[in-house]
Structure formats: C-alpha cells, structure tokens
Amino acid sequence: MDQVKQGFIVPVFNHGKPAVSVTEKLAAHGLPIILVDDGSNEETKAYLAKIAAEHPLVVLVTLKKNIGKGGAVKAGIKKAHELGLTHILQVDADGQHDTGRAGFFLEESAAHPEAFISGRPEYDSSVPKSRKNGRKVANTWAKIVTLSSNITDVLCGFRVYPVEPTWRIIQRTFIDNRMGFDVEILVRLYWKRVPIRFCPVQVTYPEDGLSHFHPLWSNVRISIVFTRLCIGMFIRLPIFIIFVFRNKRDKK
C-alpha cells in the first residue's frame, strides 16, 4: 500500500457544542478532520463554522437537508477520497466515545493498513439497558450473515475505514443512510474479505446527551438491513463455505 494518510470523520446533526469539544480533542493529532453537517439547525451551523474557521485542518461538508448518519458518513468518505486520504477514523459527535483512544486506533490502522479497525464498546453504568440488549441481538445476526464468530460488534461508531475499499462499496451498492449504515458497511467489507480487527473503546452516555437513536424506528431500519443481508448471504453461501473452510485450514 502507498503511504498511509489518515484523518477523521465526524458526522454532526444538531450536536453543535459537543461536536466542538470532540473536534478540539481530535485536532491535537494534527490530521485533517472532516466535519459533516447533516442538515443541522442554525445554532449547530454557527458552532461548526466557528471551529472550521479556527482550525485550518478542519474541512466542513454541509448537506442541505438531514439524510441520516449513514448518509453523512458516506459524504465524509467521498470527501476523504477526494482529499487523497487512505484511512479515516469515524467519531460520533455526541461525545460518547473516549477520544483518548484515537491515537491507538490510528496506530493499529497504520500497522494493519489493509484492515478495518472497529471499536468494541466497554460501557459504564450510564448505558441504557435497551441499547445494550439491542446491540446483543444485532451482533448475533451479524455472526449469522457473516458465518463468523469473530464479529464482536457491528454498531460502534468509533472505527477506522480503509477509504478505497469502502468508497468502492458505497459507489456500487445501496447502503442504508441511517442507523443501519454501521451494520451494513461492516458486513459488506467482511464479504469483500477486508480483514476486521476489534479494539476496546470506552463508551459513556452523557446525562444531558442528545441521541438520534429511536428505540422503535432505528431498530426497524436495522432489521430491514439484516433482512437484505440475509438474502445476500444465501446468494453468496457457496463462496462463504469455501472461504470459511480455507481459513480454518490455513490456521491449522
């Protein structure tokens, strides 16, 4: 692989103040930060314009209307491709993730440039029980559609994408624009035989935090995504069986 050129993506929808805090912490790494304004309110737009003016490495991408977290990340990946970045660390704007782990994730990505590096959440007592249980269900389905017991989390928004294979999938395949995106892009990268590595990251749910995860409709969208992935899995089943057999044989 050519020289590794890393950066960050922060999708933002009405998280003006926490997004500024996240951006300030990431700026210490001296890497490009792509802030994607996903049709936010005027207050958030003002916050983002200010932070972009203060930091020359911040690139602000503005979407005219809200299209969802997945759509915002897609826009960020497109911009990363245009900027010639090879790897991009996605960080949610609400401040849930321990940004102190960014350096470690970037080092892991540099050491394994062919891989997708995904966070494996370590929760404190602030995590809502419904979110934790829902995640267990999603992870179980991910194991089914990948025929792999190595998929430990599909929903964590703290992850490093290798830009080129991700951009190719986004261009050629319909991927959910909202909460199903994190699930679907991980599974499709796995199907393309991109190695996936999981590393722990602490996750905290702020008491006054704004969450765009809807207990009903977000889970409905994720269920629809898994339905499509199950159909795709059955189509690919002969290839999967050969791939799994070869992996087991190579490990002996």
pLDDT at 127: 66
pLDDT at 133: 65
Confidence of residue 150 (pLDDT cuts 50, 70, 90): confident
Domain for residue 214, yes or no?
Answer: yes
Strands 116-123 and 159-162, sheet pairing:
antiparallel
Tokens of 241: 């069986």
- 138: Cβ contacts below 8 Å, ≥ 6 apart: 154, 155, 183, 222, 226
54-58, 86-90, 187-191, 247-251: the lowest-pLDDT one: 247-251
- Cα 90–Cα 34–Cα 93 angle in degrees, nearest 5: 50
Domain for residue 1, yes or no?
Answer: no
Does residue 138 contact residue 148 with C-beta atoms inside 8 Å?
no
Domain for residue 211, yes or no?
Answer: yes
pLDDT at 131: 63
Domain for residue 122, yes or no?
Answer: yes
Please state, in angstroms and as integers, the Cα–Cα distance from residue 15 to each residue in 1, 37, 41, following that order.
Answer: 36, 10, 9
- Cα 162–Cα 167–Cα 173 angle in degrees, nearest 5: 130
pLDDT at 132: 67
Distance, in Å, from the CA atom of 200 to the CA atom of 34, rounded to the nearest integer, reads 24
Four-point Cα dihedral 200, 206, 212, 217, nearest 10: 80
Q: Which domain holds residue 112?
A: 6-251
Tokens of 35: 């802030």
In the chain, how many domains are there? 1
246 forms beta bridges with none
**Tokens 């050519």, residue located:** 2
Q: What does pLDDT average to over the chain?
A: 87
- 149: Cβ contacts below 8 Å, ≥ 6 apart: 143
17-26, 182-191, 204-213: the lowest-pLDDT one: 204-213
pLDDT at 211: 57
**Tokens 């009903």, residue located:** 216
Domain for residue 230, yes or no?
Answer: yes
Does residue 243 contact residue 193 with C-beta atoms inside 8 Å?
yes
- In tens, the pLDDT along 167-202 reads 999 999 989 888 789 999 999 999 999 999 999 999
CATH of the domain at 99: 3.90.550.10
- Other beta carbons within 10 angstroms of residue 35's beta carbon come to 29
